Amino acid sequence: VVAKHTSQSMAAVSTRPADERELLSACPALAGTPLADLRSSDVKKKLLSMPVSHIFPGTRANEALTAAVAAGRARVSRASSEGSTSDADDAGLSAVIETLANLLSAPALKDERSSAAARAEVEGGSPPPRGLPRVLSSHSLSARLKSGTADAHKDAENVQYVRSLLRGKVSRQQYALLLRDLHHVYVALEAALDAAADRCEAVRAIHFPSQLGRREALALDLEAHAGGGWRETLGPPSPPCAEYVARITELGASTEASEAALLVAHAYTRYLGDLSGGQIIAKALRRHYGADAAMHFYRFDAIASPSAFKKVYRRALDELMTSSAAVDAEALVAEANAAFSFNARIFRHLDAVCGLAAPAPSPSAAAPEVATAAAAAPASAPA
């Protein structure tokens, strides 16, 4: 199930006992096709077209997918010990495997009729519907989050700092101020997600730390753009960033599942933004700062295909509406709007700090970070 990188382990399927071969061919999407002969793109398409029955425990399709994930993990472990594949190959393969593993460990749907239907699809032999469990309608959680935050999203991306960043009118030092705030946000967010995942089903379902973690990447970018003493040079987080961090920390510390579940909105806002619009920003920054400029924050080396991963992530969101997590969609949309608002306020603060929205105050009257940014380089050209 895991692309051409698994050719050695999957080629061995033909030599396995008949019952295991039958188990691995139980998936209607794969239909007994020799996996070792498929291209990576073909396998990805098949994975994304798997039937709904795959998430239901007890079905042969679910057992088939579980067996394939186990085979892929064995392949990664063996390849790592033998040094038979590159680090990039292993990272891409691991990302696919762990994404599938997260889906398999997600709570099963509560609707018994759907569960019975799923079993009948596999065990009775009737053609299954295509697509992993999803509710791609105007009522799905991912759709409601997207439509419900459209205005706040537009407001955040139209702040002058963001527009100037895309046009190459933000210096490296001014960019480092944004990285500083983002580092504080992600340190708080990832600590909160790690803690809440142990006690909150909703957070656990969308928590992919090995694929999405940004703390270390941001620290590398800060050192490259602002030097090894960036913590002292750039100072504490901006006031709006401090408020953002406080809200995330509050949710992460909550013992109420409904409160902790609101972290889903912050993860959705940040990570899907990084995988989408963030990639556009990265291209613009490379164009203005140079192709070799440090852009670790926008690189997701453990995700082979951002577009495929986003589909998996949205499906995980949609499954929350029918899982035992029982999330409040309206509360999540409201919290996601709050997250966008926090980000917009950070950008507007940077407008003032960098002199983009109004004439910059003189260094003598400015706050330390204002003076630092103003002195670093003119806002009209990157340093």
Question: Residue 300 is encoded by which pair of tokens?
Answer: 């997701």
Q: Say if residues 274 and 214 touch (Cβ distance below 8 Å).
A: yes
Helices 172-196 and 277-289: crossing angle, nearest 10°?
A: 150
**Alpha-helical segments (H) within 158-260:** 160-166, 172-196, 201-205, 209-212, 215-226, 230-234, 239-253, 257-260
Q: Which of 93-97, 188-192, 359-363 has the highest mean pLDDT?
A: 188-192
Mean pLDDT score, 40-46: 51
Among 128, 82, 97, residue whose Cα is nearest residue 3:
97
> What pLDDT does residue 84 have?
53
- Residue with the two structure tokens 């999803």: 134
Dihedral sign (CA 99, 105, 110, 114):
positive
Mean pLDDT score, 99-104: 64
> What pLDDT does residue 94 have?
59
pLDDT confidence tier of residue 90, bands split at 50, 70 and 90: very low
How many whole angstroms separate alpha carbon 273 and alpha carbon 184? Answer: 17
Mean pLDDT score, 113-121: 41
- Residue with the two structure tokens 């599938």: 100
> What pLDDT does residue 322 have?
72
Our measurement of the distance from residue 175's CA atom to the centroid of its chain's CA atoms, rounded to an integer in Å, reads 22
Q: What percent of the chain has pLDDT over 70?
A: 56
> What pLDDT does residue 140 have?
85
Lowest mean pLDDT among 25-39, 165-179, 273-287: 25-39
Q: What percent of the chain has pLDDT over 90?
A: 50
Residue 108 has pLDDT above 50, yes or no: no
How many whole angstroms separate alpha carbon 291 and alpha carbon 301? Answer: 17
How many whole angstroms separate alpha carbon 372 and alpha carbon 363? Answer: 8
Instruction: Classify residue 83 as exposed, middle or buried by CB count within 10 Å of its CB (0-12, 13-18, 19+).
Output: exposed
Q: Say if residues 343 and 161 touch (Cβ distance below 8 Å).
A: no
Q: What is the pLDDT of residues 296-336, one digit of tens each?
A: 999 999 998 898 899 889 989 988 887 766 689 999 999 99
Mean pLDDT score, 169-181: 96
> What pLDDT does residue 72 have?
63
Higher pLDDT, 267 or 51: 267
pLDDT confidence tier of residue 9, bands split at 50, 70 and 90: very low
Among 311, 99, 325, 103, residue whose Cα is nearest residue 212:
99
CA Rg value for the chain: 23
Q: Say if residues 4 and 39 touch (Cβ distance below 8 Å).
A: yes
Q: What is the pLDDT of residues 338-378, one digit of tens each?
A: 999 999 999 999 999 999 864 444 444 444 454 444 333 33
> What pLDDT does residue 304 have?
87
Higher pLDDT, 320 or 244: 244
> What pLDDT does residue 283 have?
93
Residue type, 165: L
Residue 130 has pLDDT above 70, yes or no: no
